[in-house]
Homo-oligomer: A and B are copies of this chain.
Amino acid sequence: MLRKSTDIRQEEIKRAVLTIIHRDGLKNISTKNLAKEVGISEGTIFRHFQSKNDIMMGIIDDVSQGLIEELKKITLLDKPADKRLFDLLCKTVTYLVENKGITILLFSEASYDNDTVMLKKLNYIFNSQKQLAGKIISDGIAAGIWDKTISIEDVTTLYMGIPITLNIEMILNGEKFQYKNFCNRMYNLMLKILMKT
């Protein structure tokens, strides 16, 4: 009987959630299937997590501490705004491609039970991204490289559509979808919006 620490098992279980969502769909993330995927018994899952909801919360916290913290660093770097916006977008796209299933989870959890704690966490993830993009755009305008007449709120709303569309395409078109150059292509469109007229 191979034994592993709670730290390691927690990571394995969280990873299994994303694997199952991406491969088999949301319907199949039962604790029974989760256990099977990891190769442990169902009871062991509850040795390492208090509840199934705690697993989901854990994954969402990972996104906050992983992706969002990375994006903050990019935003605060001492680089021109256009470079930072490009990096911000590409980092997000890369993260979503490498963690397939995460947007489905975020979206479904957001819609699952109108749970306020969950909604706050998801609001943070969504609005952080939006605000960081807004910060960079604001910097670019201040630096004189972008159009000062545009509405930052509107541009960031449109910006937030990019990662979400990416996920819809990933679900619907599966392996066929081309993420190569995806961030470059979307970045160029954003540039045209920000461009001075």
Question: A: which residues have CB within 8 A of B?
Answer: 21, 23-28, 104, 107-108, 110-115, 119, 122-123, 126-127, 150-151, 154-155, 157-158, 160-162, 164-165, 168-169, 171-173, 185-186, 188-189, 192-193, 195, 197
Contact = CB atoms under 8 A, between A and B. Distances in A.
Contacts of A172: 110, 119, 122-123, 126-127
Contacts of A114: 23-25
Given A162-B158, A165-B157, A110 B171 contact: yes
Contact of A192 (B107, B162, B193): B193
Nearest to A107: B107
A186 B111 contact: no
A129 to B, nearest CB: 11
Contacts of A162: 158, 161
Nearest to A147: B192
Contacts of A168: 107, 110, 126, 160, 164
A171 B27 contact: no
A113 B28 CA distance: 7
A24 B176 CA distance: 35
Given A165-B161, A168-B160, A111 B122 contact: no
Given A161-B161, A162-B158, A113 B151 contact: no
A107 B197 CA distance: 38
